[in-house]
Structure 1
């Protein structure tokens, strides 16, 4: 999940794996695989970076053995 900010400053957690596309005209609109749309403050570039960081954390967590 990635944390984004709606235009009214409320936080929104989105499943990054379900993002279909991101547009900007002028506000950033995130379109999900199910058709839901969210208008957020972050730029498309910021959302892409958040998604990359999220996926890197998931992969890193999968590689580190759980403590016993």
Structure 2
């Protein structure tokens, strides 16, 4: 997730995988895959840089995990949940699995 600021000053997080486009008109407008739009205070270049940093972090972490060097993986940011933290709580005969992906559909506009 990347953290951005609305024009009113409140902060929120957005999943960059759901971004369809980012426009500068002159305010920066994020359009999600479902058609939802957000106006943010950050300039377009900053949003693009944050998305690139997020993706680089995901790739770097995946590479470290694949190489078996998970001990030096970056700690999760404050306020975010580490999904691997509860893995030791599962019984030995149970393998946790992710739920199937839910397809995204555009909202119907009236």
TM norm. shorter chain > 0.5 = yes
- The number of residue pairs the alignment matches comes to 67
Kindly name which structure, 1 or 2, has the bigger radius of gyration based on alpha carbons.
2
- Which residue does the alignment assign to 1:58? 58
Map of 2:13 onto structure 1: 13
The answer to which structure has the higher strand fraction is: 1
Q: Which runs of 5+ in 2 are unaligned?
A: 72-110
Specify which structure has the bigger relative contact order, considering alpha-carbon pairs within 8 angstroms and separated by 6 or more residues. Answer: 1
Report deviation, 1:25.
1.5
Shift of 1:32: 0.3
Structure 1 runs not aligned, ≥5 long: none
Q: TM-score, normalised by structure 1?
A: 0.91
Runs of at least 4 residues off by over 2 Å: none
Structure 1: distance between partners of 2:18 and 2:51: 11
C-alpha RMSD over aligned residues: 0.9
Compute the displacement of 1:63 (Å): 1.2
Q: Deviations over 1:14-56 (max 9, x none)?
A: 0001110111112110000010000000111111100000000
Structure showing the higher helix proportion among its residues: 1
Q: TM-score by structure 2 length?
A: 0.58
